[in-house]
């Protein structure tokens, strides 16, 4: 993200984290994964929309999309370099959430503190401090009684 580029929020993408809907939490998580990479925000936002519009609306949906199809979607969104790396990381993170926690909502709600949520997030290959910060900045308290950003 360029220094003068405005930072997009969940509301800019039509995401309502205050609704309590786990789908909205997932949508912000997916956006955070894309925004945390070294790519222009408008490309990340466009790619997010392409993924959502093509049915990648929860972590489990990634298990049914092939590497080739995901790479096509990333290209449609504007990714031209490192698609294979992004593809591998998205597949890995989404499968890991299901395997370790059952769902994204359970991963977040089960964290007893901000530090624990950060550890959970950064425990996935491809999620570092920048991505964790982007996601955690907007997670409302209702998702976890003890965690608050």
Residue 7 lies in a domain: no
Residue 65 lies in a domain: yes
* Distance, CA of 93 to CA of 132 (rounded, Å): 13
Domain tally, the chain: 1
Q: Any idea which residue has 């930072």 for tokens?
A: 7
Residue 107 lies in a domain: yes
- CATH label of the domain that carries residue 133: 1.10.340.30
Residue 101 lies in a domain: yes
- Check pLDDT > 80 for residue 6: no
- Contact assessment for residue 125 and residue 89, using Cβ atoms and an 8 Å cutoff: yes
Q: Side-chain half-sphere of 137: how many Cα atoms within 13 Å?
A: 16
pTM over 0.75: yes
Residue 9 lies in a domain: no
Structure confidence at residue 113 as a pLDDT band (50, 70, 90): confident
Residue 54 lies in a domain: yes
Domain hosting 55: range is 18-143
Structure confidence at residue 1 as a pLDDT band (50, 70, 90): very low
Residue 2 lies in a domain: no
Residue 12 lies in a domain: no
Per-residue model confidence as pLDDT tens digits over 44-81: 999 999 999 999 999 999 999 998 899 999 999 998 87
């Amino acid at each position: 993200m360029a220094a003068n580029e405005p930072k997009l929020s969940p509301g800019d993408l039509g995401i309502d984290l205050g609704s309590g809907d786990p789908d909205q939490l997932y949508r912000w998580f997916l956006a955070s994964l894309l925004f945390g990479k070294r790519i222009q925000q408008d490309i990340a936002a466009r790619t997010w929309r392409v993924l959502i519009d093509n049915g990648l609306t929860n972590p489990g949906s990634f298990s049914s999309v092939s590497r080739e199809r995901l790479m096509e979607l990333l290209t449609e969104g504007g990714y031209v370099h490192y698609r294979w790396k992004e593809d591998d990381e998205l597949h890995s993170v989404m499968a890991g959430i299901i395997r370790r926690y059952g769902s994204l909502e359970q991963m977040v709600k089960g964290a007893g503190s901000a530090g624990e949520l950060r550890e959970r997030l950064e425990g996935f290959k491809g999620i570092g401090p920048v991505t964790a910060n982007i996601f955690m900045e907007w997670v409302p308290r209702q998702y976890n009684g003890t965690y608050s950003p």
